[in-house]
């Protein structure tokens, strides 16, 4: 039985039902082990990184954990996420990354304006640059990324979700690029990623009006891939995101990474230019790698393939 997933317990470490000690999660009398990004989980950690195991090996969960600030993006969170992403980029065993919240009812409220107000003017520029770079790095991770939006995702929080390949939201979630209410504009890629997701005209309307959408409304516009009814534990979007991640695991890992690269780069230029520029990479997809040979053999033998990322 896979760690954490089968017991629907990812969000519980910060709640009274569970205790987390030295990398071991105990829930309902069942012991579940998991790998941690750091040696221990502390309630003060702004980011909790978990490598799921068992049937879900290859799925990594990034849990934002700033309950006192509604998961607002702080200097420490930016640093921790940047370090985690740098580690993930180099790990060929990671198949899918799920970005979620450890705080019930909130995904991310955007920039930490209280912390920003305490910064020296000379600190603001470098911090904003680092935050933008972080979201760019999230968008360029080589493996699929899924944002599980179980609560409010506003401003920079939605920009972070937009940087992910796929978004799943609870119907009750709220999301929007609301920066114009503060007489500023989305500053971490939202003006570019939102139009690419919902279309230019719709994106303009949403940004001009600083409109906040429900999960269902976001689904109708194509802002999220799936909208699900929230459950009693407040993790419905996370559970749906895990189901999606499980669909990716059996597929050829190199093929998935190459498909993501081709889609991401190809969407930025015209089709015929893409084909000419990427001609070599397109044909490299038929090179007889070990995974491709295994896939063909598995198909012939009518059995599930056993990919190793080679």
Residue 88 Cα distances to 37, 91, 98, angstroms:
10, 5, 12
Is 159 marked active-site?
Answer: yes
Which residues, in sequence order, are CB contacts of 83 under 8 Å at separation 6+? Answer: none
Of the listed 72, 147, 157, 159, which one is catalytic? 159
Query: E-assigned strands of the chain?
Result: 19-21, 24-27, 30-33, 35-36, 47-51, 59-64, 96-101, 106-108, 145-149, 152-154, 166-170, 174-176, 213-214, 226-228
Residue 179 is a catalytic residue: yes
Catalytic site residue from 179, 215, 234, 241: 179
Backbone angles phi, psi at 269, to 5 degrees: -130, 170
Question: Active site residue: 63, 110, 155, 156, which one?
Answer: 156
**Structure tokens given for 252:** 């050829």
SS3 of residue 56 by DSSP: helix
Kindly give, in sequence order, each residue whose CB lies less than 8 Å from that of residue 131, ignoring residues fewer than 6 positions away.
73, 78, 111, 156, 188
**Catalytic (active site) residue 301:** no
Catalytic residue at 111? yes
Answer whether 147's CB lies under 8 Å from 168's CB: yes
Give the catalytic positions in this structure: 111, 156, 159, 179
């Amino acid at each position: 039985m896979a760690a954490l997933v089968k017991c629907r317990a990812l969000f519980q470490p910060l709640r009274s039902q569970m205790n987390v000690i030295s990398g071991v999660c105990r829930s309902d009398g069942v012991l579940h082990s998991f790998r941690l990004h750091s040696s221990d989980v502390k309630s003060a950690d702004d980011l909790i990184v978990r490598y799921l195991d068992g049937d879900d090996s290859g799925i990594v969960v990034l849990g934002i954990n700033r309950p006192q600030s509604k998961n607002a993006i702080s200097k420490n969170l930016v640093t921790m996420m940047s370090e985690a992403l740098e580690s993930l980029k180099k790990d060929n065993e990671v198949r899918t990354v799920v970005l979620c919240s450890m705080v019930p009812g909130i995904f991310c409220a955007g920039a930490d304006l209280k912390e920003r107000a305490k910064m020296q003017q000379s600190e603001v520029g470098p911090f904003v640059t680092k935050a933008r770079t972080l979201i760019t790095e999230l968008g360029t991770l080589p493996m699929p990324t899924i944002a599980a939006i179980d609560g409010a995702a506003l401003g920079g929080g939605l920009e972070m979700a937009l940087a992910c390949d796929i978004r799943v939201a609870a119907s009750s979630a709220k999301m929007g690029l609301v920066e114009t209410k503060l007489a500023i504009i989305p500053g971490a890629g939202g003006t570019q990623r939102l139009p690419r997701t919902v279309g230019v005209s719709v994106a303009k309307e949403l940004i001009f009006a600083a409109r906040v959408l429900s999960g269902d409304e976001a689904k109708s516009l194509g802002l999220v891939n799936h909208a699900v009814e929230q459950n009693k534990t407040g993790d419905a979007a996370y559970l749906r995101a895990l189901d999606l991640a499980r669909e990716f695991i059996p597929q050829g890992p190199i093929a998935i990474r190459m498909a993501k690269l081709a889609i991401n780069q190809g969407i930025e230029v015209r089709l015929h230019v893409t084909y000419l520029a990427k001609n070599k990479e397109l044909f490299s997809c038929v090179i007889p790698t070990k995974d491709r040979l295994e896939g063909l053999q598995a198909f012939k033998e009518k059995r599930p393939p056993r990919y190793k990322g080679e």
